A and B are shown apart, each in its own frame.
Chain A
Amino acid sequence: MYGLNKEPALIMHIDLNSAFATTEQQAHPSLRGKPIGVTNRISKECCIIAASYEAKYLGVKVGMRRSEAMAICPKLTLLETDPPKYNAVYQKLIKIMQSYSPKIKMKSIDEGIIDFHGMEKLLNGKTLEDIGYEIKQRVKDEIGDWMRINVGIGTNRFLAKQAAGWHKPDGLDKIDHTNLLDYYKAVKLTDLNGIAERNEARLNAYGIMTPLDFIKADEFKLKKQVFKGITGTYWHQRLRGFEIDDYATNLGMVGRQWVVKDPSSKDSYLLPCLSYLCETTGMKLRFREAEARGICVWLSYQTGEFWQAKRMHKTTYYTNQEVYRRTLELFKQRPSGIVKTIGIYCYQLCPSKRSQISLFEDIEKQDWLTRAVDEINDFYGTFTIYSATSLEGKKIIKQKIPFGGTEYFDLLLKSG
């Protein structure tokens, strides 16, 4: 009666449990079974970016400040992130996933999708649940005996992810038309991936209080009233198990942001940091083989105010020097005040045209210099050579491990 997708569930979502914390426990047997947290850099008020299940049971949450976590769990062991270690786990997980289907997509460093469409004949009569248990065992054998994964199986990416989060840790669940409504009965609106407080309030305002109410709502209501747009139709399809999240995104912007270590208004402190941020942004641009025309700088102040400036240039750019020069023009226009966060991003991107010969010698020289520096840094390690204006900034800004996409992981490892 709800028009559910009755196709076989052929999407598998794999999620490493508390990825960074579990990996650390794998590497350090003495920390297994103990509450541990992982942070980017241990400092007085650092933030927990991953917590072991033992810590989570005691109430430690991801995103908590060190002081809050220590108040809840005084015996909490804190470790700093170790990107190469997580990358090794990530690469091994990819290898395992690729051995089942060529259609895999990593959603982030600790989760990915295996699409079994078209692979049915190669499953040799095994069900996806059998394969799920097999992958769990292979993760233990090939990555480490402490590693645990959640496996979710569904007819679309949304339901597969929901299934993976149903029984944590170490769970394996399948959601299809046979148990979809039972699942929706068992969970809250905010348990649905993509529904947080704001969307919950939006749904509540139209009398949708539970996931069951949500699936009962007709497409017209969701499209025209609740979400006021195509998002409503997407939700209508998604909830019923139809695939609408399988699309490739285009690269829209490249940038970097940084929470200022010691909030300041002084150019002598901020400019070297800005220069360093521009260096890493330039590296990202070239890593993605792109050039940009637009540049944006944004700042948040200690007073809570926000400022941003944007500029679209006629010519494209990709060198660190150009990123810094164009950023600096905007940065100098900022209102006075103590800066708490700096963000820069390049937009209006296009594929790199560096292989084309330029008519202008200056541009050629800049390109040669950039190529030479990149080659040296590639050989001896990132930041073997870098701009003198970034010297102090590099000492202050620490490279962090990305939460979301894994596009820059190789680049991060080079600079690690």
Chain B
Amino acid sequence: MDPTIVINERVDVITVFYGNAPERTICIPKRMKYRNQEIEFTMFAMRHPTAKGKRMIHVFDVSDGANDYRLEFDAEGLTWVLVSMIGNQ
């Protein structure tokens, strides 16, 4: 069944924007603070843009080796939201 756990909460994220990297890996979230817990991302899976009206949202799929996280970066509001996660089954 669908293992996705919906969270939809604002989170703190440390991100690296690379000056000289291929388009796919030009911006990579490295660490996230969620409910006072620090999570280090060890794998960058995918990034894709999507529009909500005229707002541009960048969706990042990352993993800490145990769980997969879907983070959304609102390029207008400059906010990070942890949308959902999938626990390793």
Contact = CB atoms under 8 A, between A and B. Distances in A.
Interface of A: 23, 26-31, 34, 42, 77-80, 84-85, 87-89, 141-144, 379-381, 384, 413-414, 416
Interface in B50-89: 50-54, 59, 61, 63, 66-68, 70, 86-89
Chain B, interface residues (CB within 8 Å), range: 20 to 34
A29 B63 contact: yes
Given A29-B68, A380-B54, A416-B50, A84 B59 contact: yes
A29 B43 contact: yes
A27 B45 contact: yes
| A interface majority secondary structure | helix
Contact of B23 (A80, A84, A142, A384): A142
B46 A144 contact: yes
Interface of B is mostly: strand
Contact of B51 (A78, A79, A85, A414): A414
Given A28-B61, A142-B22, 4 more contacts: A23-B46, A27-B45, A42-B2, A89-B48
A88 B24 contact: no
A86 to B, nearest CB: 9
A371 B48 CA distance: 30
Given A28-B86, A84-B50, A88-B48, A77 B2 contact: yes
Interface string B22-37: 1110000000000000
A28 B50 contact: no
A85 B57 CA distance: 12
B4 interface: yes
A380 B53 CA distance: 4
Given A29-B63, A30-B87, A30-B88, A142 B49 contact: no
A35 B2 CA distance: 12
Contacts of B66: 30
B48 A85 contact: yes
A211 to B, nearest CB: 40
B45 A28 contact: yes
Contact of A142 (B24, B48, B61, B67): B24
A143 B48 CA distance: 10
B1 interface: yes
A78 B88 contact: no
B21 to A, nearest CB: 12
A28 B87 CA distance: 10
B3 A379 contact: no
Contacts of A27: 45-46, 61, 68, 70
A80 B4 CA distance: 10
A310 to B, nearest CB: 37
Contacts of B48: 84-85, 87-89
